[in-house]
Amino acid sequence: DTGVSQDPRHKITKRGQNVTFRCDPISEHNRLYWYRQTLGQGPEFLTYFQNEAQLEKSRLLSDRFSAERPKGSFSTLEIQRTEQGDSAMYLCASSSSSRPRDRGYGYTFGSGTRLTVV
């Protein structure tokens, strides 16, 4: 298992374009999380899946943001009509409900996708 993979690593887009990011979690992890991180801040929670069910999406930043996990494996995060304020690092993490607390529930982050909107 190679950990959590995110693609692309970097994305530069023009304002108004749509972008989609992909996250492949650790294969045995049933939970998947998306975060956004801007410079000097900690990761900010966006949304969360357990298997294919999106259990929390109220913290998606606007209706331009949406996420899917159609088969309970990989997930995509889409931002429509990008704005300069969307420039940030988008992090994906996965965990397993069966992992113990002392291992941090197995939360593992991917390397992130750095989005620059010009």
- List of residues contacting other proteins (CB under 8 A): 31, 33, 35, 40-45, 48, 55-56, 91, 93, 95, 97, 101-105, 107, 109-112
Where b means 16+ CB within 10 Å and e means fewer, 86-98 reads: bbbbbbbbbbbee
Is the CB of 52 or the CB of 80 nearer to other proteins?
Answer: 52
Work out how close the CB of 112 gets to other proteins at its nearest, in angstroms, rounded to a whole number. Answer: 6
The distance of closest approach from Cβ of residue 13 to other proteins in the complex, given in angstroms and rounded to an integer, is: 20
Nearest CB to other proteins, comparing residues 20 and 111 = 111
16 vs 104, which CB is nearer to other proteins?
104
Give the DSSP H/E element, type plus range, for residue 68.
strand 65-68
- Residues near 93 by beta carbon (within 8 Å), at least 6 away in sequence: 4, 32, 33, 35, 107, 108, 109, 110
How far apart are the C-alpha atoms of 105 and 76, rounded to whole Å? Answer: 23
**For residues 30 and 66, which CB has a smaller minimum distance to other proteins in the complex?**
30
* Tokens encoding 110: 């991917």
For residues 3 and 109, the answer to whether their CB atoms sit within 8 Å is: no
Q: How far is the CB of 50 from other proteins (least distance, A)?
A: 9
Query: CB of 81: closest distance to other proteins in angstroms?
Result: 27
